[in-house]
Structure 1
Amino acid sequence: MLSRTATSLRPAARAGRLVLRGLATSAPVYENKRTPLYQLNVDRGAKMVPFAGFDMPLSYGDVGQVAAHNHVRNEVGLFDVSHMVQHLFSGPGAQDFLSTLTPTSLDKIPENGSSLSVLLNENGGIIDDLILTKHAADGSRWYTVTNAGRAEEDKAHFKAKLLEWNTQHPDKTVTWEILDGWGLVALQGPKSANALSKLTDADLTALKFGQSMFAEIGKDKVRCHLARGGYTGEDGFEISIPPEFAVSITEQILAIPEVWPIGLGARDSLRLEAGMCLYGNELNESVSPIEGGLAWLVSKDRRVEGAFPGSSRILAELKDGPARRRVGFEVPGAPAREGAKVFDEDGNEIGVITSGIPSPTLGTNIAMGYVKNGKHKKGTPVQIEIRKKLRPATIRPMPFVSAKYYK
């Protein structure tokens, strides 16, 4: 069953010219959606651009992308990620239902624990990547966050699979709610816990990476959901806020002097340094978790039973290796951009770049992409076609910048 709105997050109960995938700087040809924080972003001088069907902040005021990026690495920044889709799955069959869609052992996740996973199609391709958080020890309640750019595909997939499940399992039915209108912000950086502690009495030291809690935040003591983690490789929290308090809580966080609002430009460079995938660039419905360097999402017991979509392909790739592999590149000279072709030293085409930037932290150009299996070893010299010339590069391990999660 699908409810379009939810009143509580309860612990018991492409358009224009692309700069980044899905991020345009020219006027959209359709009307974009707006997050609950749209006006707040505009009032703070955000440059708004179309992204994943929403008007989203690229940057704020005169602060450049590099300065914003470095502030998150060294201090703390706040991202509006309310465009992401927040879901609740509840009922006696919730865990078993979600297990039919993903390759991750959900029964191994502790109460209030989270895991990255992937929705798979029948060919083992990735429909979307998502975060799954268990809100009940018995697996009867799950909070899930999926990508805005895949909202319609995800909803159609959930709807069809849920109808099938509830029909076949009348004693283990599942209810599905979408948290329309809820705010979602990501507080990221080494000083994020110190900043958040000014607005809550919750013991943040008890919350480790990959764990969540409910906490009262702000002057009105609003009950919010905190998940320790994020998309930058730094310590941080993703905070889900009830609709009527989304603006006020965000304003209170931004009133803390060291917290800067940060836009999509820095978000992309931070996630690339952290070696994290962006759906539509590194991941799509033809890419398997094994090709995408996400084999760890396929739990050991699931590899034995194989009861997940596309298991025949994925188990074969685990045994024999995939046809291609996601790798990192260090690219001296000019930066490599999405779509650039990759060649070996003999001039044979072996892959393609999916994302590339000048790294603010490292002071060199980095990129991600796919190369043929066997050509993926770290230290392998390659050539990348940049501005119609083949330029030398080297395959290197990821993340480019070591993660600093609170564990």
Structure 2
Amino acid sequence: MSETTENLKQLPLGDWHRNLGARMVPFAGYEMPVQYEGVMAEHLWTRENAGLFDVSHMGQVQLVGEGAPEALEANTPGNLSALGVGKIRYTLLLAQDGGILDDLMVTNARNDLYLVVNGATKHDDLAYMRAQLPPSVTINHLEDAALLALQGPKAAEALAKLGIQPLQDGWPVPTDLYFMEAGPFLWNDVPVGISRSGYTGEDGFEISIPADHAEAFATALNGLDEVCPIGLGARDSLRLEAGLPLYGHDMGPEILPVEANLNFALSKVRREEGNFAGAERVLGQYPDKAATKRIGLFVEGRQPVREGADVVDAEGNIVGKVTSGGFSPTLQRPIAMAYVPMALSITGTAITVEQRKKQIACTVADMPFVPHNYHRKPKL
């Protein structure tokens, strides 16, 4: 490993993880827990109960000032100015040529925008936003806040036991939130921001809490029968099963949104306006005019294919690349994501992957591989 313990940043809960027996590894410049009991067991626990993840390496950012949504819109294809109070939108931070600099969650927190960005890119994101946004918008990096994720079908049941209250009378309690909704709350008089969101495909919550209260909160959750701590290993296998791309692996600045199979992030009104960074190049590929596309793969046999493996044609020519791959604990088979020519992206198409000079048969699969279990608001 190129990183050493001495130059890694420490999470607010670093000692807490070590005391629980976590195996710590370098990730995004931090020393982070990769597993406790084991990836397979932690993955299946989250699918059946509630897993507690420490994602404090992620960047938490506050944008304050009149016109902040419109200013951020200039660099994203999401319709942020129409985002209702307490609503969340997944969007993409785009370079001026339309390449994906990051994917992020944006919440309308009434008096400001609250952003969660990827840990490995947060400092670059901040620099880019400071260069692109007008002086009227203040950018605050919330470095004194921890971020925890409680994910799984019993997450709401567990969170309800902590006695979390709305910040104001008449507001909902956390378990009344629907998927992609958020609000301010109090836990033992400590202010916490809670969203019904996550990156596992399961129902769940992300909780932003002052770093000096994070250990007490995590200990309270971990003391519940429904909850176990879960490491990075299972977080990755869960998001892969959910068909969710990981920045820096399944997308990057050389990839455009349509190529990344993220058409849903290009909102209709923004497509019509065409006034975001790289719009001409991005919209030139919409909806299906890109040369390549991110797809899912079912892998034959038991041997997973890994990031960097080549997709080859019948003559052995490299035509694509695997970007994520691993064994699915839920499906009990290997799965992967890859970029392939658009003509090969149709579900059911036979694909050949070459790894370590061995050819492995694959089939294009629909994503998510495992159906999402989000707590969505019923349609009227």
Class of the TM-score when normalised by the shorter of the 2 chains: over 0.9
The yes-or-no answer on 1:288 pairing with 2:256 is yes
Distance 1:281 1:176 in 2: 27
Amino acid at match of 1:176: I
Following superposition, the deviation at residue 93 of structure 1 comes to: 1.8
Write the mapping of 1:53-132 to structure 2, written as runs, cut at 5 A.
Answer: 53-60=29-36, 63-132=37-106
The yes-or-no answer on 1:371 pairing with 2:335 is no
Query: Are the counterparts in 2 of residues 72 and 188 from structure 1 also a CA contact under 8 Å?
Result: yes
The yes-or-no answer on 1:37 pairing with 2:13 is yes
Distance 1:319 1:128 in 2: 21
Query: Are the counterparts in 1 of residues 195 and 206 from structure 2 also a CA contact under 8 Å?
Result: yes
Distance 2:288 2:281 in 1: 10
Distance 1:204 1:56 in 2: 27
Distance 1:247 1:65 in 2: 23
Distance 1:177 1:153 in 2: 14
Gaps of 5+ in 2: 166-172
Distance 2:153 2:115 in 1: 25
Once the two structures are overlaid, the 10-residue window that deviates more, 48-57 or 102-111, is 102-111
Deviation string, structure 1 residues 88-109 (Cα, Å, up to 9, x no partner): 1111121111111101111232
Distance 1:388 1:373 in 2: 25
Query: Are the counterparts in 2 of residues 328 and 367 from structure 1 also a CA contact under 8 Å?
Result: yes
Pick aligned residue for 1:380 from 349, 352, 373: 349
Distance 1:356 1:319 in 2: 26
Shift in alpha-carbon separation, 1:146–1:319, aligned structure 2, 3 A: closer
Distance 1:133 1:29 in 2: 34
The yes-or-no answer on 1:216 pairing with 2:186 is yes
* Equivalent position of 2:130 in the other structure: 159
Following superposition, the deviation at residue 349 of structure 1 comes to: 2.7
Gaps of 5+ in 1: 1-14, 17-26, 167-172
Distance 1:362 1:88 in 2: 39
Once the two structures are overlaid, the 10-residue window that deviates more, 44-53 or 101-110, is 101-110
* Equivalent position of 2:157 in the other structure: 194
Shift in alpha-carbon separation, 1:314–1:345, aligned structure 2, 3 A: same
* Equivalent position of 1:271 in the other structure: 239
* Equivalent position of 2:280 in the other structure: 312
Once superposed, which parts of structure 1, at least 4 consecutive aligned residues long, lie more than 3 Å away? Answer: 344-348
Secondary structure in structure 1 of the residue aligned to 2:162: coil
Distance 1:294 1:312 in 2: 17
Following superposition, the deviation at residue 279 of structure 1 comes to: 0.8
Amino acid at match of 1:323: A
Distance 2:116 2:174 in 1: 22
Distance 1:392 1:146 in 2: 36
Normalised TM-score (structure 1): 0.88
Pick aligned residue for 2:229 from 251, 255, 261: 261
Following superposition, the deviation at residue 319 of structure 1 comes to: 5.3
* Equivalent position of 1:21 in the other structure: none
Query: Are the counterparts in 2 of residues 345 and 382 from structure 1 also a CA contact under 8 Å?
Result: no
Instruction: Give the superposed CA RMSD.
Output: 1.4
Distance 2:368 2:30 in 1: 29
Deviation string, structure 1 residues 117-140 (Cα, Å, up to 9, x no partner): 11100111011111100012xxx5
Secondary structure in structure 1 of the residue aligned to 2:17: helix
Following superposition, the deviation at residue 206 of structure 1 comes to: 2.2
Shift in alpha-carbon separation, 1:30–1:161, aligned structure 2, 3 A: farther
Pick aligned residue for 2:139 from 157, 171, 176: 176
Amino acid at match of 2:44: N
Amino acid at match of 1:92: E
* Equivalent position of 1:245 in the other structure: 213
Write the mapping of 1:138-153 to structure 2, written as runs, cut at 5 A.
Answer: 140-153=111-124
* Equivalent position of 2:168 in the other structure: none
Query: Are the counterparts in 2 of residues 344 and 381 from structure 1 also a CA contact under 8 Å?
Result: no
Following superposition, the deviation at residue 270 of structure 1 comes to: 0.4
Following superposition, the deviation at residue 301 of structure 1 comes to: 1.2
Amino acid at match of 1:249: F
Amino acid at match of 1:366: I
Distance 1:201 1:301 in 2: 37
Amino acid at match of 1:405: Y
Identity of matched residues, %: 43
Normalised TM-score (structure 2): 0.94
Query: Are the counterparts in 1 of residues 98 and 281 from structure 2 also a CA contact under 8 Å?
Result: yes
Deviation string, structure 1 residues 353-396 (Cα, Å, up to 9, x no partner): 00100100001100001001111100000111123111211011
Secondary structure in structure 2 of the residue aligned to 1:290: coil
